[in-house]
Amino acid sequence: MERLQINLGERSYPIYIGEGLFSRLQEIKPTGDRYLLLTDQNVDVYYGDLVMTAIGREKCHKYIIAPGESSKTMETVIQILSYMLDCQFTRKSVIIALGGGVVGDIAGFCASIYMRGIHWIQLPTTLLAQVDSSVGGKTGVNMPQGKNVIGSFYQPQVVVIDTDVLKTLPRRELISGIGEVIKYGIICDYNFFSYIHNHLPSLLTLEKDILEKVIYRCCKMKAEVVAADEREGGLRKILNFGHTFGHGLEAAANYEYYTHGEAVLIGMMVESKIALGMDWIDETYYKEITEAIEKTGISLDISHMDRELLLEKMLRDKKNQENKISFILPKGKGKVQEVLLPKEAVVW
């Protein structure tokens, strides 16, 4: 088992990474008078009972939401909070988020506002949640007007990553997480990028040592970025490589066609091409990036997408300035930099 500390002053907390950790949850000495286990229907089937038993059934209530992004709404939040009030949860109660990024984002938001804030624990079950969304304390829900527009920064008490649970994760979701893994290499560690490039098949077959090492490294990189810039004033922006185009693609496809990670993979390919055109990276490195992305096996053909619609979606990004689109682009190996580009400069 690996242990990693997220350093955020009085909001610091540990992340544990290893096999079979969900059955050992008592070892983290949870402190709630009672627990709300929040999960989704898919995850509940596999791990609901395991976690209930590990925490102690007599103190644990379970609330199950429908799986998928469509659950990430204020309506769901209100239903959860009402349930907690009906069950007389107190300020000493704890929410346990068992699931992917959707469950994590909702659980953290509920924890941040229930009785002005209670403790919460993250048990991320997708690769994306394990390497990305469970670290950093961003919580929230979507509104008809936009994604993740209502929320809070609210750190959990502890994150427990059980790598065993990835065995039941659908392959498409696994690849979605790999999109973020590749991103970490490109934004801050070329050696790690090369390692991923060379070990992608072993990662896809969930080889224990490689998996643990990769998850640890990604959490550490995100933790360092978050510790330096908890509320996205500057440095944290680098995590958005591949996301300007990726978010545009997700929005243009009504959040139905692409998973987040697939959109990020395509986004990184397009944004690397822009960087190549600006001479920020050379042809050899560009090829390495595209090869790694191609190795995931996802379809990279976006010729069916409407160019104007995509640009229009990108122009709505809250990081834009003066009608120029904000991009984080690779500039040399293992480094990225922000640039503002007029829409005419965005070619793919």
Ligand X SMILES: NC(=O)c1ccc[n+]([C@@H]2O[C@H](COP(=O)([O-])OP(=O)(O)OC[C@H]3O[C@@H](n4cnc5c(N)ncnc54)[C@H](O)[C@@H]3O)[C@@H](O)[C@H]2O)c1
CB of 147 to ligand X, least distance (A): 6
Please identify, using beta-carbon distances, which residue of 31 and 168 lies nearer to ligand X: 168
Contact between 262 and ligand X by CB under 6 A: the answer reads: no
Tokens representing 263 are 């959109």
Contact between 106 and ligand X by CB under 6 A: the answer reads: no
In degrees, to the nearest 5, what angle opens at C-alpha 306 toward C-alphas 302 and 311?
100
By Cβ distance, which residue is nearest to ligand X? 101
Considering only 30, 37, 132, 196, the residue that binds ligand X (CB under 6 A) is 132
Contact 142, 69 (CB under 8 A): yes
Select from 38-46, 111-119, 154-162, 335-343 the region that touches ligand X (CB under 6 A): 38-46
Q: Which amino acid is at 159?
A: V
Instruction: Consult the annotation and say whether 138 binds a ligand.
Output: yes
CB of 347 to ligand X, least distance (A): 27
Q: What distances in angstroms separate CA 65 from CA 89, 138, 173, one per listed residue?
A: 19, 20, 18
243 given a catalytic annotation: yes
Instruction: Consult the annotation and say whether 346 binds a ligand.
Output: no
Tokens representing 30 are 């949870």
180 given a catalytic annotation: yes
**Which residues have C-beta within 8 Å of that of residue 271, sequence separation ≥ 6?**
241, 242, 244, 245, 327, 328, 329, 330
CB of 200 to ligand X, least distance (A): 19
Q: CA torsion, points 20, 23, 26, 30, in degrees to nearest 10?
A: 90
Considering only 40, 230, 262, 271, the residue that binds ligand X (CB under 6 A) is 40
Contact between 101 and ligand X by CB under 6 A: the answer reads: yes
42, 119, 142, 180: the catalytic one is: 180
Q: For residue 146, what are the β-bridge partners?
A: 143
Can you tell me the distance from the alpha carbon of 283 to that of 147, in angstroms, rounded to the nearest whole number? 35
Considering only 126, 155, 163, 244, the residue that binds ligand X (CB under 6 A) is 126
Site string for ligand X, 283-322 (x = CB under 6 A): ----------------------------------------
Considering only 99, 242, 248, 267, the residue that binds ligand X (CB under 6 A) is 99
Contact 53, 62 (CB under 8 A): no
Can you tell me the distance from the alpha carbon of 112 to that of 89, in angstroms, rounded to the nearest whole number? 14
Contact between 129 and ligand X by CB under 6 A: the answer reads: yes
Among 75, 73, 122, 74, which residue's Cα sits nearest to residue 95?
122
119, 220, 247, 333: the catalytic one is: 247
CB of 287 to ligand X, least distance (A): 28
3-state secondary structure of 22: helix
Instruction: Consult the annotation and say whether 103 binds a ligand.
Output: yes
DSSP secondary structure letter of residue 178: H
Can you tell me the distance from the alpha carbon of 344 to that of 341, in angstroms, rounded to the nearest whole number? 8
Instruction: Consult the annotation and say whether 147 binds a ligand.
Output: yes
Contact between 70 and ligand X by CB under 6 A: the answer reads: no
Q: CA torsion, points 224, 39, 45, 16, in degrees to nearest 10?
A: 30
Classify strands 13-18 and 2-6 as parallel, antiparallel or unpaired.
antiparallel
Considering only 128, 266, 269, 289, the residue that binds ligand X (CB under 6 A) is 128
Contact 327, 274 (CB under 8 A): yes
Instruction: Consult the annotation and say whether 199 binds a ligand.
Output: no
Contact between 46 and ligand X by CB under 6 A: the answer reads: yes
Instruction: Consult the annotation and say whether 102 binds a ligand.
Output: yes
Contact between 105 and ligand X by CB under 6 A: the answer reads: yes
Chain residues 193-252 in contact with ligand X, contact rule CB under 6 A: none
Instruction: Consult the annotation and say whether 104 binds a ligand.
Output: yes
Considering only 32, 136, 242, 246, the residue that binds ligand X (CB under 6 A) is 136
CB-based burial label for 67 (10 Å; 0-12, 13-18, 19+): middle
Site residue total, ligand X (CB under 6 A): 29
Active site residues: 116, 138, 180, 222, 232, 236, 240, 243, 247, 260
Query: Binding site, residues?
Result: 101-105, 125-126, 138, 147, 180, 243, 260
